[in-house]
Amino acid sequence: MTAAPTAPIITVRDLVKTFPVRGRPGEPKRLLRAVDNVSFDVFRGETLGLVGESGSGKSTTGRMLVGLISTSSGSVELFGHQIAAGAEKGALNKVRSRLQFVFQDPQNSLNPRMRVGDAIAEPLDVAGGLSRQDRQDRVRELLGLVGLPTGCGDRFPHEFSGGQRQRIGIARSLALKPDFIVCDEPVSSLDVSMQAQIVNLLLDLQEQLGLSYLFIAHDLAVVRNISTRVAVMYAGGIVEMAPKRELYAAPKHPYTQALLQAVPRPVPGRARPPSVAGELPSLIDPPKGCAFHPRCPFAFERCRIEKPRLQPDAAGHAVACHLHEAGSSAQ
Amino acid sequence: MTREPLLSVENLTVQFRGDRGWVTAIEDVSFQIGAGENLGIVGESGSGKSVSALSILRLHGRANTRYASGAIRFAGRDLLSMSERELRRVRGGDIAMIFQDPMSSLNPVLTVAEQIIEPLQLHQGLSAAAARRRAIELLEMVRIADAGRRIDEYPHRLSGGMRQRVMIAIAIACRPKLLIADEPTTALDVTIQGQILELLRDLQREIGMSVALITHDLGVIAEFAQRVLVMYAGRVIEEAPVAALFDRPMHPYTDGLIDAVPKLEGDLHRLTTIPGNIPDLAAVIPGCRFNPRCREAREACRRDAPALLPVGPDHLSRCPPRAAAAGGAA
């Protein structure tokens, strides 16, 4: 379906983001650890699905990749340029036009008073150098590319449905011919029927334009069709990462298993396994050991003391769980 | 389900005033909910599912809404002809409602305690101390740990799942006979969504209430509903028991909704989609309103408005070609 991966275009190592949190008066400032030692690669032409619930750090990670927020520590290398904290000034500018971002909410990410043609052309205007005619042609081309009538650039965002607005957001992200797009929950606010249209559109564009995606979602069902590999985040860290087929066929981490079981299926009368109890832990004062252990049905002594590391097996299926460490016979 | 339905919506047509005059949001909508029954109402945004639900309690802005025809009978009385004052006793009493976004339905400047106690004092005349005791019981019923302390928190201190639990506690405070749940899990994470659906099911058994669940997600419908109403462009296009709906969907739009649900098993082909978008309320579409998006549309579909026809036991569909095929097979 996609080109065979060769060299990574994005390399992320030990990425950390902390936010200072004001305590009550008199209490010291504390740190919220939103992203905690995250490492991954994205290869040319592939989609890495990044899945996690609210507060897992998935969006923060995506935003750091395109420079929308700064990193606290760790390294981010984009197309051979280091852009993380401490990198040479202006490094991000060298690669900025090759990176794009598609936001979750097409309602709020488009200026309601700007015609959609102008919204799509805005990145072109910033880059400069296009004649009026070329600009207009490019807007029509982009509208066509995302499956909208090429003549609808004169209309305003409110004249479009949610799904169509997301198409406009995608058209805008394509204006500067990027190589890599972070799609931050692009279908989460859409109806199921519209989700399928947008996912198919992103697949088509990837094939036509050779794009790579980091596709962020809160649910494993949505990323199944589009992803080449999938990483699951929990409480700031990646707990499992694997090629798509392996992850869905044989999920290893108890949290991944819980996420898969939680997806409602269109099968009436299915005996649904009970939901995993509890909610995401505090990121200011996270549990000792494995962050998932307070909710984990299989937790044992070691999980409460020692934080498991993400360890890949020979097939490239990585999991951070003491149940699956080499030498452990536990299932 | 039962001899006398708890709620019966009959031929309801609701219109809203827009920039260019009145538009019909839902047309000729009829459905019933039996005592203790779970009805699922499913459709895309703009299908009229929320309009139908909000109409039950007449929650639309009065100035710009016209209940053009029909009746809504609840326990023998017509909610549409009730005075605003009478209806206020029903709202939050016998019929309660929860919404998609628990943050915007809770008052951010009142504590959880103040918000739960209000309906208890209003509908049940409890003293402040008794109401507080009852409020803590209710929070325990919705499985909020440490309810005695949590009750004095403000909503922003609670997670999304917790807030929805608080909303549910407020809704069940007066032991409603009917709970209308408008996309109650759409804004929640998947693991929390499962918890909330389980909670609703448990509470329904404990209290013996009926639930009308509105959602765009057929996965949620399959897990929760006994009977399903599928809406499209302001009309009911199919109604069926949940097993029949998924086994033998009798409307092309229902087929499309079922196919669009992302699967966790099976082939990894492209997702199946329903082409196009739901039409604007003001759009004039002759014949079947779904015909521009329908792969099976014929000449008659573009000309004649279809009727809701029986296609099986307790199964109705607004697709005459499918109904004819079902009739021919029977």
CATH number (domain holding residue B287): 3.40.50.300
Distance in angstroms (rounded) separating the CA atoms of residues B219 and B259:
11
Beta strands A47-51 and A212-217 are parallel
Is B145 domain-assigned? no
Spell A7-37 as b/e; 16+ CB within 10 A means b: ebbbbbeebbbbeeeeeeeeeeeeebbbbbb
Residue with tokens 């109604």: B239
Is A153 domain-assigned? yes
Decide: residue B154, CB within 10 A, 0-12 exposed, 13-18 middle, 19+ buried.
Answer: middle
| Residue in A193, A272, A275 nearest the CB of B257 | A193
Is B202 domain-assigned? no
pLDDT at A116: 95
Residue A331 pLDDT grade (very low, low, confident, very high; cuts 50, 70, 90): very low
pLDDT at B253: 95
Subunit contact A270:B272, Cβ cutoff 8 A: no
What's the pTM? 0.89
Residues near A42 by beta carbon (within 8 Å), at least 6 away in sequence: A8, A9, A10, A48, A180, A212, A214
Distance in angstroms (rounded) separating the CA atoms of residues A180 and B188:
29
8 A C-beta contact, residue A34 and residue A19: yes
Degrees (nearest 5) of the Cα angle B163, B169, B170? 95
Contacts of B218 in chain A (CB under 8 A): 192, 266
Residue B328 pLDDT grade (very low, low, confident, very high; cuts 50, 70, 90): low
Q: How many CB atoms lie within 10 A of CB A227?
A: 24
Which amino acid is it at A173?
S
pLDDT surpassing 60 at residue A2: no
Give which of A191, A228, A270, A279 to mutate to test B binding, by max B Cβ within 10 Å: A191
pLDDT at A329: 45
Tokens of residue B178, six digits: 């009917």
Alpha helices in chain B (DSSP H): 49-56, 84-90, 102-105, 112-124, 128-141, 147-150, 160-171, 190-207, 218-224, 242-247, 252-260, 320-329
Subunit contact B189:A272, Cβ cutoff 8 A: no
Contacts of B192 in chain A (CB under 8 A): 53, 279
Residues in chain B: 330
Is B300 domain-assigned? yes
Which range among A26-30, B11-15, B284-288 shows the weakest confidence by mean pLDDT?
A26-30
8 A C-beta contact, residue A304 and residue A288: yes
Subunit contact A219:B261, Cβ cutoff 8 A: no
Is A270 domain-assigned? no
Contacts of A277 in chain B (CB under 8 A): 195
Q: How many CB atoms lie within 10 A of CB B4?
A: 11
Alpha helices in B225-292 (DSSP H): 242-247, 252-260
Residue of A nearest to B259 (CA): A193
CATH of the domain at A76: 3.40.50.300
Subunit contact B246:A263, Cβ cutoff 8 A: no
Subunit contact B45:A248, Cβ cutoff 8 A: no
Residue of A nearest to B192 (CA): A279
Please write down the long-range contacts of A293-297, taking CB distance under 8 Å and 24 or more positions apart.
Answer: A295/A255, A295/A258, A296/A254, A296/A255, A297/A254
In degrees rounded to 5, what are phi and psi of residue B232?
Answer: -145, 125
Residue A23 pLDDT grade (very low, low, confident, very high; cuts 50, 70, 90): confident
pLDDT at B181: 95
Q: What is the least distance, in Å, from the CA of A153 to any CA of chain B?
A: 18
Is B136 domain-assigned? no
B249 touches chain A (CB under 8 A): no
A146 touches chain B (CB under 8 A): no
A54 touches chain B (CB under 8 A): yes
Q: E strands along chain A, which residues?
A: 8-21, 30-43, 47-51, 73-78, 81-82, 99-102, 180-184, 212-217, 229-234, 237-243, 311-312, 318-319
| Residue in A54, A264, A268 nearest the CB of B217 | A264
Distance in angstroms (rounded) separating the CA atoms of residues A218 and B260:
18
Give strand pairing partners of A10.
A42, A78
| Residue in A54, A244, A267 nearest the CB of B222 | A267
Residue B18: domain span: 7-94+180-185+212-329
| Residue in B222, B260, B274 nearest the CB of A268 | B222
Distance in angstroms (rounded) separating the CA atoms of residues A16 and A75:
9
Q: What is the least distance, in Å, from the CA of B245 to any CA of chain A?
A: 9
Tokens of residue B46, six digits: 């703009």
Half-sphere exposure (CA, 13 Å, Cβ side) for A321?
28
pLDDT at B330: 44
Q: Which of A201, A55, A181, A174 is nearest to A119 (CA)?
A: A174
Task: Report the complex ipTM.
Answer: 0.84
| Residue in A199, A260, A262 nearest the CB of B193 | A262
Segment A82-89 shows an average pLDDT of 70
pLDDT at A1: 45
Half-sphere exposure (CA, 13 Å, Cβ side) for A110?
31
Subunit contact B191:A276, Cβ cutoff 8 A: yes
Decide: residue A151, CB within 10 A, 0-12 exposed, 13-18 middle, 19+ buried.
Answer: exposed
Residue of B nearest to A271 (CA): B223
| Residue in B191, B221, B246 nearest the CB of A258 | B191
pLDDT surpassing 80 at residue B183: yes
Is B261 domain-assigned? yes
**Tens of pLDDT along B25-65?**
999 999 999 999 999 999 988 899 999 999 999 999 888 99
Residue of A nearest to B271 (CA): A196
Tokens of residue A22, six digits: 């004001």
B193 touches chain A (CB under 8 A): yes
CA distances from A129 to A126, A174, A177 (A): 9, 17, 15
What rounded mean pLDDT belongs to chain B?
A: 90
Give which of A189, A193, A292 to mutate to test B binding, by max B Cβ within 10 Å: A193
In chain B, how many domains are there? 1
Is A20 domain-assigned? yes
Residue of A nearest to B254 (CA): A193
Subunit contact A267:B278, Cβ cutoff 8 A: no
| Residue in B44, B216, B264 nearest the CB of A224 | B264
Subunit contact B220:A264, Cβ cutoff 8 A: yes
**Tens of pLDDT along A148-206?**
999 999 999 998 888 899 999 999 999 999 999 999 999 988 888 889 899 999 999 99
Subunit contact A161:B45, Cβ cutoff 8 A: yes
Residue of A nearest to B243 (CA): A268
A-B C-beta contacts closer than 8 Å: 126
Q: What is the least distance, in Å, from the CA of A53 to any CA of chain B?
A: 6
Which 3-state string (H, E, C) describes B295-310? CCCCCHHHCCCCCCEE
A270 touches chain B (CB under 8 A): yes
Q: What three-state secondary structure class fits A124?
A: helix
Contacts of A219 in chain B (CB under 8 A): 190
| Residue in B190, B222, B273 nearest the CB of A266 | B222
pLDDT surpassing 70 at residue B104: yes
**Tens of pLDDT along A198-209?**
999 999 999 999
Subunit contact A259:B278, Cβ cutoff 8 A: no
Distance in angstroms (rounded) separating the CA atoms of residues B6 and B227:
15
Is A179 domain-assigned? yes
Residue A15: domain span: 8-263+282-324
Q: Which of B58, B4, B13 is nearest to B33 (CA)?
A: B4
Task: Please name the residues between 237 and 256 in chain A that touch chain B, using a CB distance below 8 Å.
Answer: 244, 248
Is A330 domain-assigned? no
Question: Which comes out higher in pLDDT, residue A92 or B115?
Answer: B115
Contacts of B45 in chain A (CB under 8 A): 161-162, 191
Distance in angstroms (rounded) separating the CA atoms of residues B86 and B81:
10
**Tens of pLDDT along A104-138?**
877 788 999 999 999 999 999 998 889 999 999 99
In chain A, how many domains are there? 1
**Tens of pLDDT along A307-330?**
999 999 988 899 999 999 865 544
pLDDT surpassing 60 at residue B1: no
